Amino acid sequence: MKYLSILLLFSVAVVNNVCAQNGDVPKSPYLQFPDNPPLSLLLVDSTTTFTKSNFKKNKPVFLILFSPDCDHCKHETEDIIKNIDKLKDVHIVMATSQPFDKMKEFYKHYQLSKYKNITVGRDRQYMLISYFDISSLPMIAFYDKKHKLLKRHEGTMKVSDMLAYIK
């Protein structure tokens, strides 16, 4: 039995190595299905579910994955709020997989209810982290007016750099 396990493990390693050399390494899901993020967010009201079909029509979308405890995410949010007038034509969707109460506290702290173009919700199924193959937060996925993925970016980004994706 021990030899069978070793043989199986060796076979898997060889197949993975051959596939990698041939360039057959599977793409991340967001590259395979760029226009269909598995978006199902529980909104702050704790009853409404937000999906991709709720993206505002004919508006670009910035989908931001964040953690309420992440300092970089907090700074990103502060920069967005400070420059919200420049982003008035963008639907900003902020998603977290952290506990609901932390998300709600973040939402209240930054008074995000004041901004009609910002939607905040919780990814209850933890789908977005693996879909976007995330290694650091915040992560921003930029979608055009037709909701086609333009770019995925990990880490903070100045609003001035984000503006390039709404033209």
- Say what the pTM is: 0.84
| pLDDT at site 24 | 65
Long-range own/partner contacts, residues 51-59 (CB < 8 A, 24 or more apart): 52/147, 54/119, 55/91, 55/93, 55/143, 55/147, 56/91, 56/117, 58/145, 59/89, 59/90, 59/91, 59/117, 59/145
User: Structurally, what CATH architecture does the domain formed by 33-166 represent?
Assistant: 3-Layer(aba) Sandwich (3.40)
For the chain, which residues make up each domain, given as ranges?
1-26, 33-166
| pLDDT at site 23 | 58
Residues of the chain with pLDDT under 50: 1-15, 19
